[in-house]
């Protein structure tokens, strides 16, 4: 069975609402969450001059979510993350998926 890792960088204020929504999905396997910081890319700056002072305060707190799920169940989880975390403001975050070559849920591992 093919596995997909869904990663998302989202606003921390949306995390609890997201957790509640994901737990309502029968295919939700759980998630790992880490606190991270992000900064704007140069494409977001337009023609405005950027100073070192602005560089130092540009980092904003975000939450990074990692979910590994079988490919057949990835879309509803991806869609839920997108719907719940979107505020339509700059800095909402980013969602992406990657194929997982090998995955073993340790607790489900058979004893030798």
pLDDT score of 61: 92
Contacts of 30 (CB under 8 A, 6+ apart): 67
The 10s digit of each residue's pLDDT in 51-98 is 666 655 678 899 999 999 999 999 999 999 999 999 988 888 899 999
CA pair distance 10, 18, nearest whole angstrom:
10
Asked if 63 and 1 touch (Cβ cutoff 8 Å), the reply is no
pLDDT score of 92: 87
Domains with residue ranges and CATH for the chain: 3-39+53-103 (3.30.70.120)
CA pair distance 72, 69, nearest whole angstrom:
8
């Amino acid at each position: 069975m093919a596995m997909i890792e869904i990663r998302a960088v989202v606003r921390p204020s949306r995390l609890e609402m997201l957790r509640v929504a994901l737990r309502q999905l029968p295919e939700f396997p759980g998630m790992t969450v880490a606190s991270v910081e992000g900064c704007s890319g140069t494409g977001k700056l337009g023609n405005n001059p950027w100073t070192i002072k602005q560089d130092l305060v540009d980092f904003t707190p975000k939450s990074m979510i990692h979910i590994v799920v079988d490919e057949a169940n990835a879309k509803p989880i991806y869609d839920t993350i997108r719907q719940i975390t979107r505020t339509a403001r700059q800095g909402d975050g980013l969602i992406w998926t990657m194929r997982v070559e090998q995955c073993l849920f340790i607790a489900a591992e058979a004893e030798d």
